């Protein structure tokens, strides 16, 4: 068996049909992939919906995405494991192109192009964001991490690096919204590459309203704080830990009063950096509007929001310790 498509869900009866059906109609030999649905103890009709299809249906009573995914790993047989969110639809050629990704034995994990199912300026921005980005690059490339919505990992690599981390060492703290980043770190640590393939496409019902995105920023700040506290550091965690953007903003504000020349240099440097990153984003994704009109001010806003949330969370946590 080449692939195991592992779908994990909790109370997702509205999305299950389209997700499973997109998996069933793959233009790929049927005897070379299996579909496994792991229900995370839903209280709606998810199990009933999934059971009407010719797929393997499991129940994981322990609540948690990592717990559900690990249940899928144990009860599947594919050499390459594709972990899927329920609120997505695969292109019919997804597996065919995904196979190309893993022809390189040095590639341990990867994923495809994630396009928005509901198209708004928020869902478009998520494709060019520095902080909550969905991969929409135009060319195949190596990446440092890949979002969990269709994260794919070789079984042999998981056996070497370990499964999804359910609890940290003290057995009480879970990883909210960071299990994909954490496991990608371990994949790289044992010497494998993570590769993005733009030809393996899917539609994902990702965030489409600003209020949803704002809540994601807050949750993301909390999850990065967990990673930092438990020595699971990634580049973004280190950036937010030392609050480099806010430190830069503080220098800018102070310099306005004591050294206007320095403030001008800092301001110009900031503008150049932001639009330079926007230009880089446009070259990589081809998304002009999101890169040059939305990305600069949204990334600035998200930096301030994430850092403020982390500082506040750490303060209140320390107050109760």
Cβ within 8 Å of residue 189, ≥6 positions away: 161
The answer to whether the beta carbons of residues 198 and 206 sit under 8 Å apart is no
- 208/189 Cα distance (integer angstroms): 34
Q: Is the pLDDT of residue 247 over 90?
A: no
Quick one: pLDDT band at residue 172, thresholds 50, 70, 90? very low
Q: Is the pLDDT of residue 224 over 50?
A: yes
The pLDDT of residue 160 is 95
- The chain-wide mean pLDDT, for the chain, equals 85
Provide the whole-model pTM. Answer: 0.85
Q: Which of 186-195, 247-256, 272-281 has the highest mean pLDDT?
A: 186-195
Angle of helix 179-189 relative to helix 65-74, nearest 10 degrees? 50
How far is Cα of residue 178 from the mean position of the Cα atoms in its chain? 8
Locate all alpha helices (DSSP H) within the chain, ordered by sequence: 13-24, 46-51, 65-74, 94-101, 121-125, 155-161, 179-189, 210-229, 235-241, 244-258, 260-285, 288-289, 295-319
Q: Is the pLDDT of residue 242 over 60?
A: no
Tokens of 248: 């830069």
Stretch 226-239: mean pLDDT: 64
Stretch 51-55: mean pLDDT: 96
- 176/145 Cα distance (integer angstroms): 16
Strands 107-116 and 193-204: parallel
pLDDT in tens, 279-313: 999 999 999 988 888 988 888 888 777 777 776 66
Stretch 142-162: mean pLDDT: 94
pLDDT in tens, 259-273: 766 667 777 777 788
Stretch 96-104: mean pLDDT: 94
Domains of the chain, by residue range, sit at 3-206, 217-319
The pLDDT of residue 303 is 75
CATH of domain 3-206: 3.90.550.10
* Cβ burial, residue 314 (10 Å; 0-12/13-18/19+): middle
Give the burial string for 296-310 (b: 16+ CB within 10 Å, else e).
bebbeebbebbbebb
């Amino acid at each position: 068996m080449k692939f195991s498509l592992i779908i994990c869900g909790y109370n997702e009866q509205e999305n299950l049909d389209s997700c499973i059906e997109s998996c069933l109609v793959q233009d790929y030999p049927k005897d070379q992939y299996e579909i496994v649905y792991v229900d995370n103890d839903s209280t709606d009709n998810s199990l009933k919906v999934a059971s009407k299809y010719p797929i393997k249906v499991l129940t994981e009573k322990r609540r948690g995405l990592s717990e559900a995914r690990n249940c899928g790993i144990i009860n599947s047989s594919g050499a390459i494991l594709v972990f899927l969110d329920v609120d997505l639809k695969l292109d019919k050629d997804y597996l065919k192109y995904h196979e190309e990704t893993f022809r390189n034995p040095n590639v341990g994990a990867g994923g495809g192009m994630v396009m928005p199912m509901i198209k708004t300026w928020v869902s478009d921005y998520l494709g060019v964001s520095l902080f909550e980005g969905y991969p929409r690059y135009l060319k195949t490339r190596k990446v440092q991490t890949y979002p969990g919505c269709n994260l794919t990992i070789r079984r042999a690599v998981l056996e070497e690096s370990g499964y999804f981390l359910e609890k940290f060492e003290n057995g009480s703290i879970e990883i909210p919204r960071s299990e994909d980043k954490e496991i990608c770190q371990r994949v790289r640590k044992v010497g494998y590459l993570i590769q993005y393939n733009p030809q393996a496409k899917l539609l994902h019902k990702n965030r489409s309203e600003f209020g949803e995105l704002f809540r994601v920023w807050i949750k993301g700040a909390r999850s990065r704080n967990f990673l930092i506290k438990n020595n699971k550091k990634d580049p973004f965690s280190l950036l937010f830990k030392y609050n480099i953007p806010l430190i830069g903003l503080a220098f800018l504000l102070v310099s306005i009063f004591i050294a206007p020349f320095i403030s001008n240099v800092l301001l110009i440097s900031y503008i150049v950096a932001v639009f330079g990153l926007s230009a880089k984003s446009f070259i990589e994704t081809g998304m002009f509007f999101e890169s040059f009109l939305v990305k600069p001010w949204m990334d600035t806003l998200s930096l301030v929001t994430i850092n403020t949330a982390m500082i506040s969370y750490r303060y209140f946590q320390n107050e109760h310790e």
